[in-house]
Amino acid sequence: MTTVAIVGCTHAGTFAATSILQHHPDWTVHVFERNDSLSFLSCGIALWVGDHVSDPKRMFYSSPAALAEAGATMHMRHDVLGVDVTGKTLTAKDLETGETTDYAFDKLVVTTGSAPVIPPIDGLDAALENGAVMLCKNWGHALAIKERAKSAKTAVVIGAGYIGAELAEQFSDIGVKTTLVDALPRVLANNFDAAISDQVEQAFSDHGVTLALGQKVVAFRPASGSDGADGSGVTVVTERGEYTADVAILGAGFRPNTALFADQLATIGNGAIIVDDYMRASLTDGTVLNDVFAAGDSATVHYNPTGKDDYIPLATNAVRQGLLVGENIVAPTKRYLGTQATSAVQLYDLAMSATGLTLGGVERRGLTARSTTLVQDYRPDFMLTTTPVTATLVWDPDTRRILGAQFLSKHDISQAANVVSVAIQAGFTIDDLAGADLFFQPNFSQPVNFVGAVAIQAVAES
């Protein structure tokens, strides 16, 4: 009988547990999770704030009872305090009783995920403590943000990435006067190049969101005269201004939650556990461990556009890697195909999606690439309605391989990023995509579909 310990259970943990039990229904699978729920879809938080969620309970797709039914031994509200990776034991504290117990395991699955980055900014700890600044990651945060959104008249959202942008959009939609702050000079600067982010900035301005870009937050101070939860609200001080609101939300990114494994498992610089193609972790000396796996936000991904390990915390990676743990837990069997970090977002009436590298991402990594942007109607103008799509393709001028793509339109063109994602995974060049068989039908597309058209333009520019 094999005993598995899974530490952490949101997406990677839930899928790993399910997959392991499907393959090995007779194994003992201990699941440790410090929260009292599992499988929460954080991507629903902003939508819930804006009243676009039918029932918040539906933001969970599994439960402790469902995993127990599948055969897992559940330890909910248990905090794993220490793990001896090579000694194969862990210590967990029951957060209800305070009791601490040691458990032995044959195989370990690390799915401890990530935590919000909390930069060392003056006054931030106190503001987080009194609730004037909130985080946005788990179910507890979701409940708190939703409650505050009911009474707040003003908000400052710090971080104009996907999470901050979605929150700012939903706050402005429900009438909360919102300021969106970021140290970078553009919104969604890590996800889209300027041809697209410029249009998003215009949409924010059109909806009354104040953009405070290119300015780092340097301090948080209590604000008098506001109706914040503690009676004071908060003033967010940046290098270039001060923004006072009833509440501020910090969305400054995520870091892997892997302190338990420091000095035991090999990691990249930010602490993400390096996994091989079969989700196996290794010791700090590089020895691959056949009985220790990591998946999701606690682990690295293989980023196909660069061919290197990277840190890209997305639920899509957590799910796919979690499933692979079950496939490979006995022996390396099924290889991980890597990721393009394909993603999408809807802000107001703009649908956007992206895959692979942006030109900005290329520059940040010290690489070289070219980019081609095309704007064309998504379907012919003899139709009663049509609307433009902005399509950008990022490609390597030497190999001609596609490295990334971005799309924006008022029409739902989000699936286009999935098409290019598969093309990148398959190693397509701009020539391959230019000649790919993409359908034409006037309800849906032009004779030359915009995905093919932007590739044809790239070939013409090459």
Ligand X SMILES: Cc1cc2nc3c(=O)[nH]c(=O)nc-3n(C[C@H](O)[C@H](O)[C@H](O)COP(=O)(O)OP(=O)(O)OC[C@H]3O[C@@H](n4cnc5c(N)ncnc54)[C@H](O)[C@@H]3O)c2cc1C
Active site (catalytic) residues: 11, 43
**418 binds ligand X, rule: CB under 6 A:** no
Q: Which of 3, 23, 43, 106 binds ligand X (CB under 6 A)?
A: 43
Sheet holding 234-238, edge to edge: 217-222, 234-238, 242-245
CB 358 within 8 A of CB 192: yes
| Number of chain positions touching ligand X (CB under 6 A) | 32
**Residues ≥6 apart with Cβ < 8 Å to 263:** 284
| β pairing state of 154-158 and 177-182 | parallel
**313 binds ligand X, rule: CB under 6 A:** yes
Measured between alpha carbons, how far is 311 from 315 in angstroms, rounded to an integer? 13
**Residues ≥6 apart with Cβ < 8 Å to 57:** none
CB 255 within 8 A of CB 114: yes
Closest CA to 281 of 120, 461, 112: 112
Q: Smallest gap, in angstroms, from Cβ of residue 48 to ligand X?
A: 10
Q: Which of 4, 5, 12, 294 binds ligand X (CB under 6 A)?
A: 12
Sheet holding 247-250, edge to edge: 133-135, 247-250, 154-158, 177-182, 210-213
For ligand X, the closer CB: 45 or 157: 45
**416 binds ligand X, rule: CB under 6 A:** no
What is the x/- site pattern for ligand X, positions 317-356, by CB under 6 A? -x--------------------------------------
What is the x/- site pattern for ligand X, positions 228-267, by CB under 6 A? -----------------------------x--x-------
Site for ligand X in 172-201 (CB under 6 A): none
**134 binds ligand X, rule: CB under 6 A:** no
**459 binds ligand X, rule: CB under 6 A:** no
**401 binds ligand X, rule: CB under 6 A:** no
DSSP 119-131: ---BTHHHHHHTT
Q: Which of 73, 79, 306, 459 binds ligand X (CB under 6 A)?
A: 79
Measured between alpha carbons, how far is 371 from 269 in angstroms, rounded to an integer? 29
Q: Smallest gap, in angstroms, from Cβ of residue 224 to ligand X?
A: 31
Query: Which residues here bind ligand X, judged by CB under 6 A?
Result: 7-13, 32-35, 42-43, 45, 79-80, 111-114, 136-137, 163, 257, 260, 296-297, 313-316, 318
